[in-house]
Amino acid sequence: MSEAIEIPAATPATPGRLRRFWRHPITQLVARIVFFIFVAGVIGYLLHLVIELPSYESKGEGAMAAQLTEAGATPWLRQLRNLLPTILAYWLMVRLLERRKLDNSRQAGTLHR
């Protein structure tokens, strides 16, 4: 009754071609870039629909001079509308694709008090 039963070692299943392609570092890099551009574009488009800013008829130096002389909240809103899509797209890429927190300051080997 005490006979040893040999159980063959389980061999790991080799991933299919599609899974190997998806896990390749270059594919992951391209996927991150495409995701970032798509999300930033969508957020930027939505912000342009929500935040209406004055548009200037003249082109070139006249429009630049008009934008430089803006007062009140308009310059802040203009910068918010330009920067927020990039920041949100990066945050979403890190959280969804890389599955990590955005806090890069807590790396191994750094001293914190």
Which residue bears the tokens 């080799």?
14
Per-residue pLDDT for 108 more than 70?
no
CB 62 within 8 A of CB 56: yes
Percent of the chain with pLDDT over 90: 40
Least confident residue range of 16-20, 25-29, 42-46, 84-88: 16-20
The answer to pTM > 0.75 is: no
pLDDT digits (tens, 9 = 90+) for 59-106: 777 777 777 777 778 888 889 999 999 999 999 999 998 888 878 655
Q: For the chain, what are the domain ranges? A: 22-97
Nearest residue to 36 (alpha-carbon basis) of 86, 84, 82? 86
pLDDT average, residue stretch 3-31 = 85
Rounded to 5 degrees, what are φ and ψ at 74?
A: -60, -45
From residue 108, give the alpha-carbon distance in Å to each of 53, 64, 97: 45, 46, 22
